Structure 1
Amino acid sequence: MSSDLNTKLATSNSIQEEWNLEKIDNVCELVREPFTPSDDDIRKYVGLEHIEQGTLKLCGIGSSSCVKSNKLQFRSGQILFGKLRPYFRKVIRPDFDGVCSTDILVIDSKKGYDNGYLFYFFANNEMIEEATRSSEGTRMPRASWKYLSQLKKPFPSLPEQRAIAEILSSLDDKIKLNRRMNATLEHIAQAIFKRWFIDFEFPDENGQPYKSSGGEMVESELGEIPRGWEVKAIGDICKTSGGGTPKTKEPSYWEDGDIFWATPTDMTSLKSPIIFDTSRKITEEGLNKSSAKLLPIGSVLMTSRATLGYFAITKVPICTNQGFISMVCDGEVSNYYLLHTLKNKVDLIENLASGSTYLEINKSSFRSISIIKPPSSLIEKFDNFVKLIYDKIYLYELESQNLSLIRDELLPKLMSGKIRISGEL
């Protein structure tokens, strides 16, 4: 935690006397402005599928042109709280006007209360647990606003609300900045790959772009490629393997496990093509008693079923479940080159997949995919560029993870008054 942040926080043993115990109904209101989809009125749309689980972030934005049933309107700065299965902690505060699913509560502050503070109030695990307790329905449990609105909770003064919100939002703002930086860095890495290995404008011996400077091209099964380059099957340039799942009913395979075990859900929740943590871990016994295989750092993972075609490079030794094809590069090409090559072959991978319940590509079909193999010297030059980029992406991801942990550790303490804001922000 930064020294500046520390100077603004002071520990308290109890909720301060000046905090008022208020019914939530007196603090904020439920906004119920209906919206009927129309081709003449297109709005930004937020469904539960657009809100990340537990991160307090959006993972996308839809359009009202794609929805049929009535929705709810919201204004910039209001709080959106996912009431369906509230334990997923889908809470956001958009900075734009739009419409949302009716499975989302739209909440707005009343006079004397701050929406920035209320956003973190509702995102605090105490309120998530209250919402879960209030849920009605077994198959599709939904939080009850009638129950939540009658709860009595302590609230600080408006200036302290704003100060608390500013502390927490400063952490979230840095996480957002890191995401934008990583998106830019990924774009740069992809642009270099495209220019060198798709447009064939890599620097020639004179430092000039190869193809447009008259570099010799020859025919191949994948079209024209520079002279001296090869076409090889993926199975001939790297080792491929699948994964496995230890018996879930055997506690010794899971309890206190410290071996990272990835599922497709871990991949779809990544913010960059780097994986260094997983939601579940297994024990060494679980690894040995299953078909899961421990992969070295630098392996390339690809989801091979259902959510097909998500890729990542491992930053820790890791194993996976059956929903993956994993690749270990052994000198023919680098992991960075293979990662970008596969990203540019997603359409082909999907076309080779089959299945009635969900699409899946088998290892045999995947291994047979032909890719271009440039000279090792050029791949090495490419690696020298992109390794610096991916190292920076990794550092930003680590920082964002730590900032999220700090925010979630501070959140309940600030909301309960156990930590108070001291001094001017």
Structure 2
Amino acid sequence: MSDSCQTYTVDELVKAKIIEKPLDGNHGAIHPKGNDFVEEGIPFVMASDLIGGTVDTIGCKFISSEQAESLRKGFAKPGDVLLSHKATIGRTAIVPKVHTDYVMLTPQVTYYRVRDKERLNNLYLKYYFDSPEFQNLFSQWAGGGSTRAYLGITGQLKLPIVVPSIDDQQFIAHILGTLDDKIELNRQINTTLESMAQALFKSWFVDFDPVIDNALAAGNDIPGALQAKAAKRKTLGDKRAGQHVWTSDEDARRASATEGASHKRKPLPDGLQQQFPDRFVFTEEMGWVPEGWDVLPVSDAIFINPKVSLKKGTLAPFVDMKALPTSGYSVDEISEKAFSGGAKFEVGDVLLARITPCLENGKTAVVDFLGSGQAAFGSTEFIVLRPKGEISTPFVASLARDANFRQHCITNMVGSSGRQRVQNSCFDSYFLALPTEGPVLQFFTRNTEPWFLKMTQAREEIKALSKLRDTLLPKLLSGELRIPEAEKQLAEVL
């Protein structure tokens, strides 16, 4: 940094009117409780909602605007810098633009609001909070490593903040922000790709859309239970929603993650459309299913906790429960330990959380980080699912994220209310309808495997970009790395 660098305490920044006094969420009796949460409303942001430097304003809890207005503090606005300071400490993010005027914070999270933008850049402040020097100091002051780690507002006012010239701040924000923008783009692509695979799986193997379309075209009877779906399909006519075949990364970038079975999608090729039957038959296990398809329990269709050769004491990759994502399928935290027990798996397997609340939160992962024949292990609270026959990893991963399947698992959990678990027998009572012959399963695999490969590649790029950002951060803050060198490194990876 330049020689014009100055160090202030947070309190001094407040008194100099550079920032407003930091505030956290509401404590005590007025703090929103579990039964206060609503389906949609004001985002209620906890420390766990600060993920990868962003705020999860979709998966977070919500409170009503009426309740929010009854609270006295914790109103964080777009552009505010967030810092978690209780239990889960040191997470940071900037409040994004949302459909509401503000988000509400829990007492775990503090917001920092810049008043004088000519003297302090909010993105620089966020990156300063991310720096190893600040994180180490913050952890020490908060009693890091303890389940009671905490640094309240009074303690935070004493924290030192290094403030270089505004030009240097903007340069640092630009370099690191560009890397974060690329990381976020890759995350969005992965979200879209997962959504596309999920939509195709649901269309073909849950809603049986192509079969309904064929039945309508042939003038065959539609079972009463499927009349509502058939009516919707009929209104779409030749557009045949839910059957789009994406063929390029450009399609993935253009597709919306929430597109679902949009009418914008193109119909199936005629040759593939003809591989779906045009009638339904009734079964005791699933009700109405495509004529000629097999009805199998999940335990027959895929392998549940398959055998893996891994001797005790062998050093192997290890995955903890916290490493399983709630969206996407990438495992980012992989360590190495001597095998002493736990779920064993190989490349191509799918890991499914079997305990509460992890299962409800959607924790699922695809094992795409091992070499052929390499074994790894993880938490005893995983269930390992493996493709069988013509069923592929994308099919199993899509099944694991299917809402009906997950609800079945949740409903059939066994154990105390605080620690319920899915039993393997649960998979004997959930059924799949699958084609007995023809290219349907093969085409699903050919269409979705490139998407999953792209997700893996994007994850690796995210890891490389994150490593570069974390390497540049302390060098930029210390002034060790100057503008030409930083721009050169940035150009090499973009």
Fold match (TM-score > 0.5) = yes
Name the residue aligned to 1:385. 447
The letter of the residue matching 1:347 is Q
Trace 1:159-198 onto structure 2 (pairs within 5 A).
Answer: 159-198=167-206
Please give the per-residue CA displacement for 1:46-69, whole angstroms capped at 9, x wherever unaligned.
Answer: 2223222xx222234432327796
Greater relative contact order (Cα < 8 A, sep 6+): 1
Q: Greater shift after overlay, 369-378 or 171-180? A: 369-378
Query: Does the CA contact (< 8 Å) of 1:274 and 1:313 recur in 2?
Result: yes
1:281 corresponds to 2:362: no
Matching residue within 454, 465, 479 for 1:417: 479
- 1:80 corresponding residue in structure 2: 82
Q: Which deviations, in whole Å up to 9, do the C-alpha atoms of 1:129-166 show, x marking residues without a partner?
A: 21222226965221254454445554321111011011
Per-residue deviation, 1:325: 1.2
Pairs within 5 Å for 1:305-316? 305-306=355-356, 307-308=358-359, 310-316=363-369
TM-score scaled to structure 1, two decimals? 0.80
Distance 1:129 1:206, change over 3 A: closer
What are the ranges of 5 or more consecutive residues in structure 2 without an aligned counterpart? Answer: 14-18, 215-268, 371-375, 488-494
Measured at CA, do residues 243 and 20 of structure 1 come closer, stay the same or move farther in structure 2, by a change above 3 Å?
farther
CA distances 1:281-302 after superposition (whole Å, capped 9, x unpaired): 21xxx22xx3335422111211
Cα 1:29–1:415, aligned 2, differ >3 Å: closer, same or farther?
farther
Distance (whole Å) between structure 2 residues aligned to residue 34 and residue 340 of structure 1: 37
CA distance in 1, matches of 2:207, 2:393: 20
**Are positions 1:303 and 2:353 aligned together?**
yes
Please report the TM-score for the alignment, with normalisation by the length of structure 2. 0.70
Q: Distance in 2 between matches of 1:233 and 1:61?
A: 34
Task: Specify the alignment match of 1:6 in structure 2.
Answer: none
Residue 215, structure 1, aligned to residue 278, structure 2: yes
Contact 2:186 2:458 in 1 (8 A): yes
* Aligned AA (1:18): S
Relative distance call for 1:153 and 1:118 in structure 2 (3 A) is: closer
Equivalent residue number for residue 465 of structure 2:
403
Q: Which runs of 5+ in 1 are unaligned?
A: 1-14, 247-251
Query: Secondary structure of the equivalent of 2:198?
Result: helix
**Where do residues 14-413 of structure 1 align in structure 2 (5 Å cutoff)?**
16-27=2-13, 28-32=19-23, 43-52=42-51, 55-59=52-56, 60-65=59-64, 71-85=73-87, 88-96=89-97, 97-109=102-114, 111=116, 112-135=119-142, 140-152=148-160, 154-202=162-210, 206-207=270-271, 209=273, 215-220=278-283, 221-241=285-305, 259-267=316-324, 269=325, 271-275=327-331, 277-282=332-337, 286-287=338-339, 290-292=340-342, 294-306=344-356, 307-308=358-359, 310-317=363-370, 318-344=376-402, 345-356=405-416, 357-375=418-436, 377-413=439-475
Q: After TM superposition, what 4+ stretches of structure 1 lie above 6 angstroms from structure 2? A: 33-39, 66-69
Identity %: 23
How far apart, in 2, do the equivalents of 1:390 and 1:424 lie? 33
3-state SS, counterpart of residue 235 of structure 1: helix
With over 3 angstroms needed to count, the CA separation of the structure-2 counterparts of 1:372 and 1:393, relative to structure 1, is same
SS of aligned partner of 2:142: coil
Q: How many Å apart are 1:200 and its aligned residue?
A: 2.2
Q: C-alpha deviations, 1:75-102, integer Å up to 9, x for none?
A: 221211111136x421111124322123
> Is the partner of 2:451 in helix, strand or coil?
helix
Q: SS of 2:53's equivalent? A: coil
What residue identity is the alignment partner of 2:90? R
Contact 2:23/2:153 (CA < 8 Å) preserved in 1?
no
Aligned length: 389
- Change in Cα spacing, 1:417 to 1:147, as seen in structure 2 (3 Å) is farther
**Match of 1:11?**
none
Distance 1:37 1:210, change over 3 A: farther
1:235-261 Cα distance to aligned partner (Å, 9 max, x none)? 2233222899x9xxxxx969xx5x322
Cα separation, 2, equivalents of 1:127 and 1:193: 46
Query: In the alignment, residue 62 of structure 2 is paired with which amino acid?
Result: S
CA distance in 2, matches of 1:424, 1:358: 49
